[in-house]
Every structure is written in C-alpha cells, then in structure tokens.
C-alpha cells in the first residue's frame, strides 16, 4: 500500500502511484486505455507546456491569476517544455477523442508540482486550466507543435537535402548517361539534369508546405468548450497567441472562426496532404537511387552508394542501398498517415473533432520522420555516391535510341532499322549507321555526340 496514495476527483477515490505527479483523472485514463502503448509525442507534450505557460501569463495579465501561482505554473511549464517530465505523461494516444485525458494529465502534473513551488494550493482546473477547455487547448497544441517541428526540423532538413542534391548535381553535370522512359533506354541526359529534377521536386514540395503554415499558425485558444468562449475573457485568445509568438519566435494569432477551429482539423489535413506530396517526391528519388545503384554487376550500376553495413546474413560481401530503402519506408508511412489524418479530419461532429490525439500523433510522426530521413538521405546517400563512368559510357555507346538524332537527316524508317540492327548485334550505333547510310564517320561523330543531345 505504501507504493500508492489515494486521490479523488468528481467521480470518487482511487489509487495513484506514490511517485506520480499526476492525479486521479490521469490514473483513470491509464486504467481505461491500455491499448497501444504509444504515448503522446514528446513534441506535443512540450508544446502543451508552452500553451499552459502562455495561458497562465495571459490570465495573470487579465487579473485572474495571482503572481505567485503564475510564477509557479510557469516554472513547472518550463520543465515540461524542456522535456524533463515526460515520464509523467503515460497516456495512450487512443483515448478520449478530445484528448481531455491528456489536457487533465498536464493540468494535474503542473498543479501538483506548482503547489509545492508556490507554497500554496494550485488547482488543476481552477488555476492551470483557467479560461480554457480541452476542446480549444488540444487543437491549439496540435497547431503549435506542428508549426514548431515544421520550422525547426522539417524546413531546415529539406533545404539541407536540396543543397546536397544541388552540390552533387554540379559535380556530375558533365556526365552524360542513358535516359530512361518506361524503364527502357531513351535519349541521353546528364546526371546533373537528372538531379536537377529531384531538386525541383523538393523545392516545389517545400514551397507548398510553407504556404500551408499560415493556417497552422491560427489557434483555437479562447474558444473554450464549443467556440463561444464561455468562461474566458474576450481578449484571452489574442493574448495567448501573443505569448506563444514571443516564446517561439513564430507568428501565431487567433483563429478567424473558433467554431471551425474546434470542430475541424482542416489545416492539419492540408498540411498532411503537402507532407504526402513531399513523401511522394522522396519515394521517387529513393527508387531512382536504388535503380542507379543496382548491381554491382547484373544491374544498372551507374553509381555506387556508400557502403554502410553488411547486406546479408548469408551472402558475404553483399551491400544494400539501406538509406534509400529506409527513406521509402518512411514515405509509405507518411502516405498512410495522410489517409489516417483525412479520416480523422472528417470526424468533426457538430462543435468538436473527436480524433484529436490521433491527428497529433500521426501529423507529428510524419513531420519528424521526414525531417530525420531527409538529412540521412543527404549525408549517407546523395553526398557520398560515386559515378561508374565506364558502365555509363559503355551502355551509352550501344544505346540504339541515339539514332533519334539522325531522324532529320535519314528519316525515321531507316533510323529504326539502324537501331534494331545495333541492338540485335550489340554494336555501337555509330558503327552500324556508318554501314547503313551515306554519312561519313566524321559526320556521324558530330550528329551522334551525346553531349550535343542534352
């Protein structure tokens, strides 16, 4: 019995672990939702600390919270923000759809620890949750956490990857290789041109993400239970947004319509859609790298990715493209997450969306994993791959599609015969063309120079 203490809430008494800073409502949720073992993301809990701190400061400014309690609440919120109290947030993401349990988890932890610091009773509802409801706190925290992780992690990571690709593209801009459409040989391109396509994809994806963030910066706080703002000063939401802007350096503001911000997750759905687009681009880039690296003898073998680890438990010497594979798996997860967030976004019933914890988990997972894997792709795949020019030049010389450059001189029909003959006899196109046309070797060398075709 010494390992537990007795706490009570409006539903009665129950046992809570002796060393837990949380109280009865959190314990009820621990007991009610032993579902996945997946707890709310660290970035979300840290953002929740920021929101609670901003609310305490705003309530103090409005005269509702005394300085001693404000200071104590703010101090404990600093610990939450710094990630020092994560063990006090044990709740499963599959819980009440409003995440009331997580809001009360934060209220109880902050109140209990702040009471010790203040030397006075700090109440989880009356003080820490003053002027708030779970229904506006949780949507606000989703937006704050998503905005912070996008600005601090995702945008820098994608810019880092773009820079890495651009640098590599510059170093291989004079390497001409066989282009491929339908996975079949096509007209030549330079490796620099190939990589420029990757860079452009990522730049476009990043621009679209940045264009969705102004909606993420709009906060539901101040709407309280149903959007009307009951029990909150009319200026409360504005003051909290200002406090959050000051503490994060981001431009947060009140939602244009609090009824929409409580009942929908449209901004999160929109951001997730852009994350899916980014994942689609990264999947394409990863698969290109895997194909280009394939071999080393029986595949395309145009490049060699850095050898990072043994590739087989049974085949000695095998090395696999592990970073592009990991990237592709992240992309598959993010694409699936977008479907989850879309379905969750549809679950706004009247005045409240009731899949908020799921939105928080999946959205942050997408942002964080895309951020992490983009840096790995830059450092452990793009920056370090080497070019196998012998393989590239050998294949390019025999590429029957080179004959396309002769179309305007000899016509399509004769060009097709030359291409088929060169392919069947596994000979260089220039040698076959010299035999089947009246063009001189010198003329053919000029017309069939791959560098002039790109």
Q: What angle do CA 45, 256, 138 make, to 5 degrees?
A: 20
**C-beta separation of 253 from 218 below 8 A:** yes
Region 354-358 average pLDDT: 98
Does any domain span residue 236?
no
Active site (annotated) includes residue 312: yes
pLDDT number for residue 384: 97
Same structural domain, 185 and 324: yes
d(CA 245, CA 63): 21
pLDDT number for residue 407: 94
Does any domain span residue 99?
yes
pLDDT number for residue 89: 98
Region 310-329 average pLDDT: 97
Same structural domain, 120 and 206: no
Task: Record the pTM.
Answer: 0.96
Q: Which of 102, 93, 117, 119 is nearest to 49 (CA)?
A: 102
Give the domain range for residue 122: 4-130
d(CA 282, CA 373): 10
Domain count, the chain: 3
| CATH classification of the domain holding 49 | 1.10.275.10
Q: Is the pLDDT of residue 1 over 60?
A: no
Main-chain dihedrals φ then ψ at residue 219, nearest 5 degrees: -115, 145
What confidence tier does 2 reach under pLDDT thresholds 50, 70, 90? low
Q: What is the DSSP letter of 310?
A: B
In order, the DSSP letters of 359-419 are: HHHHHHHHHHHHHHHHHHHIIIIITT-EE-HHHHHHHHHT-GGGGGGGHHHH-HHHHHHHH
| CATH classification of the domain holding 154 | 1.20.200.10
| CATH classification of the domain holding 447 | 1.10.40.30
d(CA 154, CA 367): 6
Active site (annotated) includes residue 371: no
Percent helix / strand / coil, the chain, rounded to 5: 65, 10, 30
Q: Is the pLDDT of residue 150 over 70?
A: yes
Same structural domain, 86 and 162: no
pLDDT number for residue 388: 97
Residue 151 corresponds to which tokens in the numbers above?
């600005």
State the DSSP H helix or E strand holding residue 178, giving kind and residue range, or none if neither: strand 176-181
Q: How many residues are listed for the chain in this entry? A: 454
State the DSSP H helix or E strand holding residue 176, giving kind and residue range, or none if neither: strand 176-181
Same structural domain, 199 and 291: yes
Active-site entry in 131, 133, 164, 182: 182
Active-site entry in 36, 251, 312, 394: 312
**Sign of the alpha-carbon torsion through 439, 440, 443, 449:** positive
Strands 176-181, 12-17: pairing is unpaired
Region 362-380 average pLDDT: 98
Does any domain span residue 227?
no
pLDDT number for residue 137: 98
Main-chain dihedrals φ then ψ at residue 157, nearest 5 degrees: -65, -45
Does any domain span residue 126?
yes
Last residue of a domain, one of 388, 409, 437: 388
Same structural domain, 31 and 122: yes
Does any domain span residue 289?
yes
Same structural domain, 289 and 380: yes
Mean residue pLDDT of the chain comes to 97
Question: Under DSSP, is residue 425 helix (H, G, I), strand (E, B) or coil?
Answer: helix
Enumerate residues 6+ apart whose C-beta is below 8 A from 145.
Answer: 41, 43, 44, 46, 47, 48, 360, 364
Same structural domain, 161 and 199: yes
Same structural domain, 53 and 163: no
Q: Is the pLDDT of residue 220 over 90?
A: yes
Last residue of a domain, one of 97, 130, 163: 130
**C-beta separation of 267 from 215 below 8 A:** yes
Same structural domain, 194 and 313: yes
Residue carrying the six token digits 């640098």: 167
Enumerate residues 6+ apart whose C-beta is below 8 A from 174.
Answer: 190, 192, 451
Last residue of a domain, one of 130, 162, 190: 130
pLDDT number for residue 227: 98
Which pLDDT tens digit goes with each residue over 187-198? 999 999 999 999
Does any domain span residue 229?
no
Does any domain span residue 270?
yes
Enumerate residues 6+ apart whose C-beta is below 8 A from 18.
Answer: 2, 3, 4, 5
Distance of alpha carbon 439 from its chain centroid, rounded?
56
Does any domain span residue 163?
yes
Same structural domain, 167 and 266: yes
Same structural domain, 269 and 374: yes
Which pLDDT tens digit goes with each residue over 420-432? 999 999 999 999 9
Same structural domain, 123 and 150: no
Main-chain dihedrals φ then ψ at residue 321, nearest 5 degrees: -80, 70
């Amino acid at each position: 019995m010494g390992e537990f203490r007795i706490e009570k809430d409006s539903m009665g008494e129950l046992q809570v672990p002796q060393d837990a800073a949380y109280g009865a409502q959190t314990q009820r949720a621990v007991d009610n939702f032993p579902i996945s073992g997946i707890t709310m993301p660290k970035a979300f809990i840290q953002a929740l600390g920021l929101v609670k701190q901003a609310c305490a400061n705003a309530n103090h400014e409005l005269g509702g919270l005394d300085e001693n309690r404000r200071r104590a609440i703010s101090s404990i919120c600093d610990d939450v923000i710094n990630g020092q109290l994560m063990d006090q947030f044990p709740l499963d993401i599959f819980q009440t759809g409003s995440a009331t349990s997580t809001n009360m988890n934060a209220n109880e932890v902050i109140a209990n620890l702040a009471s010790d610091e203040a030397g006075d009773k700090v109440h989880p509802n009356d003080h820490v949750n003053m002027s708030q409801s779970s229904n506006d706190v949780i949507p606000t925290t989703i937006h704050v956490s998503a905005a912070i992780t996008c600005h601090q992690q995702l945008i820098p990571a994608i810019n880092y990857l773009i820079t890495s690709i651009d640098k590599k593209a510059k170093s291989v801009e004079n390497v001409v290789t066989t282009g491929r459409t339908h996975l079949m040989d096509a007209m030549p391109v330079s490796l620099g041109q190939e990589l420029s396509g990757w860079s452009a994809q990522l730049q476009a994806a990043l621009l679209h993400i940045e264009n969705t963030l102004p909606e993420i910066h709009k906060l539901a706080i101040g709407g309280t239970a149903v959007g009307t703002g009951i029990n909150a000063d009319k200026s409360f939401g504005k003051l909290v947004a200002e406090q959050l802007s000051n503490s994060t350096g981001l431009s947060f503001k009140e939602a244009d319509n609090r009824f929409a911000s409580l009942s929908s997750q449209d901004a999160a759905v929109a951001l997730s859609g852009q994350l899916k687009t980014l994942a689609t681009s990264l999947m394409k880039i990863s698969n290109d790298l895997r194909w280009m690296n394939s071999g080393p003898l029986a595949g395309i073998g145009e490049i060699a990715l850095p050898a990072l680890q043994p590739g087989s438990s049974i085949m000695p010497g095998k090395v696999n493209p592990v970073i592009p594979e990991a990237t592709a798996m992240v992309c598959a997860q993010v694409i699936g997450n977008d479907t989850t967030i879309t379905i969750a976004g549809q679950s706004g019933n009247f005045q409240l969306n009731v899949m908020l914890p799921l939105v928080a988990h999946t959205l942050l997972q997408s942002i964080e994993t895309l951020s992490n894997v983009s840096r790995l792709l830059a450092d452990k795949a793009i920056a370090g791959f080497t070019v196998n020019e012998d393989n590239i030049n050998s294949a390019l010389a025999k590429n029957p599609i080179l004959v396309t450059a002769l179309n305007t001189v000899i016509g399509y029909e004769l060009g097709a015969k030359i291409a088929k003959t060169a392919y069947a006899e596994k000979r260089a196109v220039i040698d076959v063309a010299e035999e089947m046309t009246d063009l001189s070797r010198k003329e053919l060398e000029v017309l069939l120079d791959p560098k002039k075709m790109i």
